[in-house]
């Protein structure tokens, strides 16, 4: 067997393989012999059918089987000989399948890039610190009281921040569309949960029936609705005003706070915010580090792998709204919308794999046990958690990957340069 490699665009390769005629003949004859032992044809005893008769009867199917077997067995060998790591199954083209000549085929596929990771650079990642002010705590308390408050019916026209209960039915040029209607729908005016203009048209109305118009955004995720003006028949049933929750023992119980008086409430809220900030600082710093790594390590990723990742992202997004990917229409979360993030995810995965080899990082059982011990402390019954996790191999593997990433970050922090970035707690909503 001989092979010849040709580079196409980016990571695409074509491998042309030639299989000696003797290999074909040996395999063909072996299959003829196997058939001959059990073949029963009129005029011949079992096992005595001449080869030329068998070839006339079964030759075409035997030829196809032999060619397929030779491709299946030679392709991995050709990959090894050329030091190739395919990222996709090959597209096979038969260049010559003449039984009197060597069998020649071409395999076209994408390969994984050859990455030599760079970790020393003048580029700096941002090391985030988040400050919490008294105003941030006050706003957090106000938000909690609103979220745990009660909606009370009022007899007046609706205003911003009211909750309304409505029935609605929408149409575009007289035609109804998917998801155009709802009954007893609860909507907080000013929440921007509906398309632009929808909520604005309800503000200032009292319970009654009326018609409003609103436009779907040009970049709306359902392409058949994007940019269209829709008409909605509205039945405004109820206007409700929010009565915020009182800071009392009932609220403390709902929030699972082990406090008894309001004097300690703000301190407990601040403590929880500080814990959240530690996690946010870590995540933002990690994200900046990853962006820096991608800037100083420029390489292409296999298109087929990027598409597979985008399909997984789309599937996850559909599941979040109760849809199955095989049932959802194509314009519901179009695949193109996920391609940029999918490419970034694939590149990071490929880069991480090389960085882990570069630093010779490994996760020991002791590392894993320590991580599980730390996680167990987050639960009231730590021992019960540890017993449960011992029978959850998939979750243990996820923990292993988390520990692996933490070790990688420790190494990267030693090699990459950083600059401090201080932001206010209120800026987190923009991130």
Region 5-15 average pLDDT: 94
**Within-domain flag for 207:** yes
**Within-domain flag for 167:** yes
**Within-domain flag for 56:** yes
For the chain, give the mean pLDDT.
90
pTM of the full predicted structure?
Answer: 0.76
In this prediction, residue 163 carries a pLDDT of: 96
- Range name among 25-39, 48-62, 123-137 with the lowest pLDDT average: 48-62
Nearest residue to 418 (alpha-carbon basis) of 315, 285, 321 = 285
Domain limits at 204?
150-243
Among the three residues 181, 213, 243, which one is the final residue of a domain in this structure? 243
Nearest residue to 107 (alpha-carbon basis) of 19, 15, 18 = 15
Among the three residues 199, 226, 243, which one is the final residue of a domain in this structure? 243
The answer to whether residues 84 and 163 belong to one domain is no
| DSSP SS3 for 317 | helix
The answer to whether residues 156 and 77 belong to one domain is no
The answer to whether residues 160 and 103 belong to one domain is no
b (16+ CB within 10 A) / e for 27-64: bbeebbeebbeebeeeeeeeeebeeeebeeebeeebbe
Nearest residue to 115 (alpha-carbon basis) of 300, 308, 304 = 300
143 pLDDT above the threshold of 70: yes
CB 14 within 8 A of CB 6: yes
The answer to whether residues 78 and 166 belong to one domain is no
In this prediction, residue 148 carries a pLDDT of: 94
53 pLDDT above the threshold of 80: no
- Number of folded domains in the chain? 2
68 pLDDT above the threshold of 90: yes
In this prediction, residue 329 carries a pLDDT of: 65
CATH code of the domain in which 47 resides:
3.30.70.1050
Q: Are strands 124-131 and 417-424 parallel, antiparallel or unpaired?
A: parallel
Nearest residue to 240 (alpha-carbon basis) of 164, 157, 161 = 164
pLDDT tens digits along 172-222: 999 999 889 999 999 999 999 999 999 999 999 999 999 999 999 998 878
Q: DSSP states of 243-309 as a string?
A: EPPPSSHHHHHHTT----SGGGHHHHHHHHHHHHHHHHHHHHHHHHHHHHHHHHS-----HHHHHHH
**Within-domain flag for 88:** yes
CATH code of the domain in which 236 resides:
3.10.50.40
**Within-domain flag for 96:** yes
Nearest residue to 68 (alpha-carbon basis) of 108, 111, 97, 88 = 97
In this prediction, residue 260 carries a pLDDT of: 82
Rounded to 5 degrees, φ, ψ at 109 are: -160, 170
**Within-domain flag for 330:** no
55 pLDDT above the threshold of 90: no
pLDDT tens digits along 211-241: 999 999 998 878 888 899 999 999 999 999 9
Instruction: Provide CB contacts within 8 A for 224, sequence distance 6+.
Output: 177, 331
Among the three residues 193, 217, 243, which one is the final residue of a domain in this structure? 243
**Within-domain flag for 349:** no
């Amino acid at each position: 067997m001989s092979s010849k490699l040709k580079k196409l665009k980016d990571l695409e390769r074509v491998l042309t393989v030639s299989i000696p005629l003797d290999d074909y003949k040996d395999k063909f004859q072996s299959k003829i012999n196997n058939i001959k032992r059990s073949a029963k044809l009129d005029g011949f005893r079992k096992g005595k059918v001449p080869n030329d008769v068998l070839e006339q009867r079964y030759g075409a199917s035997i030829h196809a089987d032999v060619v397929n077997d030779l491709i299946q067995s030679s392709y991995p060998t050709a990959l090894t000989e050329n030091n190739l790591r395919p990222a996709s199954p090959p597209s096979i083209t038969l260049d010559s399948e003449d039984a009197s000549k060597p069998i020649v085929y071409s395999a076209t596929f994408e390969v994984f890039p050859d990455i030599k990771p760079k970790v020393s650079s003048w580029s700096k990642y941002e090391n985030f610190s988040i400050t919490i002010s008294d105003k941030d705590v006050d706003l957090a308390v106000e938000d909690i009281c609103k979220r745990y408050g009660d909606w009370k019916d009022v007899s007046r026209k609706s205003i911003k921040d009211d909750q309304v209960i409505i029935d609605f039915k929408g149409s575009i040029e007289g035609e109804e569309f998917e998801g155009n209607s709802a009954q007893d729908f609860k909507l907080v005016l000013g929440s921007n949960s509906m398309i632009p203009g929808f909520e604005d048209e309800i503000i200032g109305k009292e319970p009654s029936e009326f018609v409003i118009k609103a436009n779907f955004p040009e970049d709306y995720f359902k392409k058949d609705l994007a940019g269209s003006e829709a008409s909605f028949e509205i039945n405004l049933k109820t206007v409700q005003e929010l009565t915020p929750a009182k800071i009392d023992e009932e609220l403390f119980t709902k929030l699972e706070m082990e406090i008894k008086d309001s004097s300690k409430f703000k301190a407990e809220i601040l403590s929880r915010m500080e814990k959240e900030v530690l996690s946010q600082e870590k995540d933002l710093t990690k994200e900046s580090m990853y962006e820096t790594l991608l800037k100083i390590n420029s390489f292409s990723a296999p298109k087929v792998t990027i598409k597979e990742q985008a399909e997984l992202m789309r599937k996850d997004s559909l599941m979040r709204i109760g849809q199955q990917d095989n049932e959802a229409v194509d314009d519901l979360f179009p695949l193109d919308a996920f391609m940029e993030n999918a490419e970034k995810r694939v590149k990071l995965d490929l880069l991480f794999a090389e960085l882990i080899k570069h630093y010779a990082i490994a996760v020991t059982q002791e590392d894993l046990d320590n991580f599980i011990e730390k996680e167990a402390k987050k639960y009231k019954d730590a021992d019960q958690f540890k017993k449960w996790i011992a029978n959850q191999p998939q979750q243990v593997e996820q923990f292993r990957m988390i520990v692996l990433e933490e070790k990688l970050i420790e190494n990267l922090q030693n090699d990459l340069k950083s600059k401090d970035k201080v932001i206010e707690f209120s800026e987190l909503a923009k991130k």
